[in-house]
Amino acid sequence: MPAPLSLDLRRRFQRYVENGLSGREAARRLMISPATGARLSGRVRRGEPLAAARCGRPLGWGKLGAHKAFLLELVEQDPDITMVELQAALLDAEGVHVHQSSLSRALRRLGFTYKKSRWSRTSGGDPMSSAPGMTG
């Protein structure tokens, strides 16, 4: 996706149009496309700001925005709840099907982090040793 025109270039374009040039003529002088010149000259005539609009997706919560309180309640009741359990609870109670990564992002926005328990045993249990009576 191309980058938007700089605000300096847009202001120079505005001065050309205010001094009587058409949008296409001002665009030709500044070496921008005639279609962009026509759009910008319309904005100048209507008195709209010339700053570029924000690109990309709008910021927000998506479909989980309405369920923030429910997610908070679930995690505060059971801090060890898994993403699969959260996903199933949200589907059962609210009828909303979301991916686990979406739940993870929502929980991070709410201030929750995932940390392993410091006191849990390792998966191996006892240290490795040879069987009794075997020497190597």
Cα distances (angstroms) measured from residue 15 to each of 38, 40, 55, 84, 122: 15, 12, 26, 59, 70
pLDDT tens per residue, the chain (136 residues)?
578 999 999 999 999 999 999 999 999 999 999 999 999 999 999 999 999 988 877 777 788 888 999 999 998 898 888 899 999 999 999 999 999 999 998 988 888 887 655 544 455 555 555 555 555 5
Given the structure tokens 């296409």, which residue do they identify? 24
The pLDDT score that the predictor gives to residue 124 is 57
pTM above 0.95, yes or no: no
**Radius of gyration for the alpha carbons in the chain, expressed in angstroms and rounded:** 30
**Element of type H or E holding 46:** helix 34-46
